[in-house]
Amino acid sequence: PPYSPNLNLIERLWKFVKKECLYSQYYEKFTNFKQAIEDCLAEVSGKFKEQLSSLLTLNFQTLENVSL
């Protein structure tokens, strides 16, 4: 498909960051916005590890013996 965000892991990560760290937040300065993203990404291996491990998987369905 030309555009498939669900197949792209970085798209899934960005969606998660927006939902968990940036949702309903206003940052007057870009530096504050950038810091919020950096803080969120720093928590990836700790606070968000379990959520992301299920979100960022490569579970693709394979079709065997299919004739077209």
The per-residue pLDDT for 48 is 81
The b-or-e profile of 33-62 (16+ CB within 10 A means b, else e) is eeeeeeebeeeeeeebeeebeeeeeeeeee
The per-residue pLDDT for 49 is 81
The per-residue pLDDT for 63 is 67
In a domain, 63, yes or no: no
In a domain, 62, yes or no: no
In a domain, 37, yes or no: yes
What pLDDT digit, counting tens, does each position of 33-60 carry?
A: 999 999 988 888 788 888 877 777 766 6
What is the domain extent for residue 32? 5-54
Q: How many domains would you assign to the chain?
A: 1
In a domain, 41, yes or no: yes
What pLDDT digit, counting tens, does each position of 1-32 carry?
A: 567 766 778 888 888 888 888 888 899 999 99
In a domain, 68, yes or no: no
